[in-house]
Amino acid sequence: MTNAFTISDLRQRPEFFDAVSDRIWRAWWQPRGYPASSISHRLRDNINPAPIPFALVAHDEDKFLGTASAIAHDLAERPQFTPWVAAVWVDPAHRGLRVGAALVDRAAGDCFALGMTRVYLCARPARSGFYGRLGWTAIEHGVGTDDLTVWSKAAAAAV
């Protein structure tokens, strides 16, 4: 694979729906005992015409590379924060090629283009270096049972 890839809105590339649903389910929901169908059902909201939620897919022509979403709420402990960049996943063979960075930047940028002035995300502490390098600011640590860090990015900080 070359380092060239495209990021598309899942609404324009629905053929990637099953891959996106599968990766999200395997990464976060399968280990918690949720059936794959429950994630597929939730992901269907991302292909409706409403501006948020939306899902993005990184691909090299017809090859799936990764995904990220923008959703209204991602952390029950912080309902006052909205919107969130969520479900960032890059297939292992494509990590380290800036696919994840491009997905996160695009998801945040698309939220800013909708008039949002601030975007949030949450991640495990091991991902701190990644989000810090992308210009996100950690605003809270140790949130919830997963010991998550809450990150924020202002529209003015968007590149």
Q: The tokens of 74 are what?
A: 């991602």
How does pLDDT run across 61-75, given as a tens digit for each residue?
999 999 999 999 999
Q: Which pLDDT score, from 0 to 100, does residue 149 have? A: 95
Residue 51: name the closest of 115, 120, 117, 122 by CA. Answer: 115
What integer is the mean pLDDT of 146-152?
94
CA 83, CA 58: separation in Å to the nearest integer? 21
- Count how many Cα atoms sit within 13 Å of the Cα of residue 97 in the half-sphere of its side chain: 19
pTM of the model: 0.91
CA dihedral 67, 49, 135, 2 (to 10 degrees): 40
Over residues 25-35, the pLDDT tens digits come to 998 888 889 88
pLDDT of residue 157: 52
Superfamily the domain 6-157 falls into = Gcn5-related N-acetyltransferase (GNAT) (3.40.630.30)
